[in-house]
Amino acid sequence: MKFEHIPHQNPVPAAEREKVIADPGFGKVFTDHMVMIDYDEGHDGEFGGWHDATLGPCQPIPLHPASSVLHYAQEIFEGLKAYKLADGGMALFRPDANARRFNESAKRLAMPELPEDVFIDSVKRVVEADADWFPTVEGGSLYIRPFMFANEHFLGVRPATKYKFLVILSPAGNYFKSGSPAVSVWISEYTRAAPGGTGAAKCGGNYAASLVPTGEAFAHGHDQVVFLDAAERKWIEELGGMNLFFVFEDGSIITPPLRGTILPGITRDSIITLAREQGLDVREEMYSIDQWRDDAASGKLVETFACGTAAVVTAVGKVAGRDGEFTIGSGGPGQMTSQLRERLVGIQRGTVEDKHGWVVRL
Ligand SMILES: *Cc1c(COP(=O)(O)O)cnc(C)c1O
């Protein structure tokens, strides 16, 4: 796809940028550029309805008050990172998987698909344009947020005929505010996704519904919320934005199966692949909250960790809910959690062999 490059009239001054990238936090500051591509139904170009791709200044975009996303929440997004390789180069991790999942989400939300190569090309362009925004802080990365929303001015309830796809970037340090080595989680009585709903799609609506339960977790002094399944309120599904893994004394691992109510995480898939490669028994199996508590108490369960692009792999040390709380293992990160995290981060940073072609150098 041809991109028009719109020059930036006043990028952030270097001194200010340096200050930001030394301590970026998460999602607070955005870089100078963004990609934007428009979609109109019936548009007959090289990429069908997609047209007018631009790489330009990251700035507010005007929206008509009747823009359909503001009323019926037709919106999807992705999240990936650009990493610094040990040799100083920059790389993306499995961007093709994000492009594929983006289109799966698009289908569920009745939105047009974007050719995978256009998705990846867009990501590469904006990262290359703003490479000097790469954080200088240890463990930093450039967090990439591609998203699409319905932008037709129309209040009838049906899929829109106009959309915008954008990619913005935010320098990122450590995802969890506390930066603690193990997080504490709160079992919510709210549910995130029902069977047949949008739980497997990465859409804004799922997050809107998770804000109250997440706020409740914070109010009780925890870092994250754990959701149980909506039908039986029994099976563990995932955290607000991360998938869960349970590690047992005998070295076997369980992670909840993809039944349409959890997000098919790319980190989840990578961890399953790495663990199986080293001969571990990884089962995609339902695991109940009662079993979790019992196994933690008996010592059969030795570790629990959460994973996702933003925080990579994070140990869960404490679990709490209305019925009380329990500790997992020592309450800190276990051996398997640390070892899998190190292998994954090693692959992402180019210090561990990338057997699967996951790392895409920029
Ligand atoms: C994005 C996301 C994840 C993690 O997916 P990754 O591809 O590993 O980043 C997990 N759960 C939810 C609800 C998510 O939105």
Q: Of the residues 138, 172, 206, which one is the last residue of a structural domain?
A: 172
Task: State pLDDT tens for residues 210-246.
Answer: 999 999 999 999 999 999 999 999 999 999 999 999 9
Give a yes or no: residue 177 inside a domain. no
Rounded Cα–Cα distance for residues 169 and 81 (Å): 9
Rounded Cα–Cα distance for residues 292 and 257 (Å): 16
Give a yes or no: residue 101 inside a domain. yes
16 shares a domain with 158? yes
Name which residue sits closest to atom 13 of ligand 1, judged by CA. 241
Closest-lying ligand 1 atom to the alpha carbon of residue 267: 8
Predicted local confidence at residue 340, as pLDDT:
96
Strand partners, 167: 35, 146
342 shares a domain with 265? yes
Predicted local confidence at residue 178, as pLDDT:
46
Phi, psi of 307 (to 5 degrees): -145, 150
Question: Domain span at residue 200?
Answer: 182-348
Distance from the alpha carbon of residue 228 to the mean position of ligand 1, in angstroms? 16
CATH code, domain carrying 249: 3.20.10.10
Q: Supply the pTM of this predicted model.
A: 0.96
Contacts of 301 (CB under 8 A, 6+ apart): 246, 247, 248, 249, 292, 295, 328, 329
What count of other Cβ atoms lies within 10 Å of the Cβ of residue 71?
14
Ligand 1 within 6 A of 78 CB?
Answer: no
Predicted local confidence at residue 26, as pLDDT:
86
- Amino acid identity, residue 230? A
What count of other Cβ atoms lies within 10 Å of the Cβ of residue 10?
7
Closest-lying ligand 1 atom to the alpha carbon of residue 98: 7
Rounded Cα–Cα distance for residues 135 and 84 (Å): 9
Predicted local confidence at residue 295, as pLDDT:
98
CATH code, domain carrying 22: 3.30.470.10
Select from 211, 224, 229, 242 the residue to mutate for testing ligand 1; criterion: most ligand atoms less than 8 Å from CB.
242
Predicted local confidence at residue 311, as pLDDT:
84
Q: Of the residues 125, 154, 172, which one is the last residue of a structural domain?
A: 172
128 shares a domain with 273? no
Select from 185, 270, 309 the residue to mutate for testing ligand 1; criterion: most ligand atoms less than 8 Å from CB.
309
Alpha carbon of residue 194 to chain centroid: 20
Rounded Cα–Cα distance for residues 201 and 298 (Å): 36
Distance from the alpha carbon of residue 269 to the mean position of ligand 1, in angstroms? 11
Select from 101, 202, 224, 259 the residue to mutate for testing ligand 1; criterion: most ligand atoms less than 8 Å from CB.
202
Predicted local confidence at residue 180, as pLDDT:
57
Predicted local confidence at residue 195, as pLDDT:
97
Please give the average pLDDT of every successive group of 10 residues along the chain, which has 362 residues: 94 95 92 98 92 97 97 98 93 98 98 98 98 92 97 96 98 66 95 97 97 97 97 97 97 97 98 97 98 97 96 94 93 93 94 96 95
Rounded Cα–Cα distance for residues 108 and 22 (Å): 39
Distance from the alpha carbon of residue 49 to the mean position of ligand 1, in angstroms? 28
Tokens of 57: 């200044």
CB 210 within 8 Å of CB 264: no
User: Into how many domains does the chain fold?
Assistant: 2
Predicted local confidence at residue 345, as pLDDT:
92
152 shares a domain with 105? yes
Contacts of 192 (CB under 8 A, 6+ apart): 199, 206, 209, 210, 213, 227, 230, 237, 238, 240, 261
Predicted local confidence at residue 173, as pLDDT:
87
Closest-lying ligand 1 atom to the alpha carbon of residue 239: 11
168 shares a domain with 190? no
- Amino acid identity, residue 14? A
Closest-lying ligand 1 atom to the alpha carbon of residue 309: 9
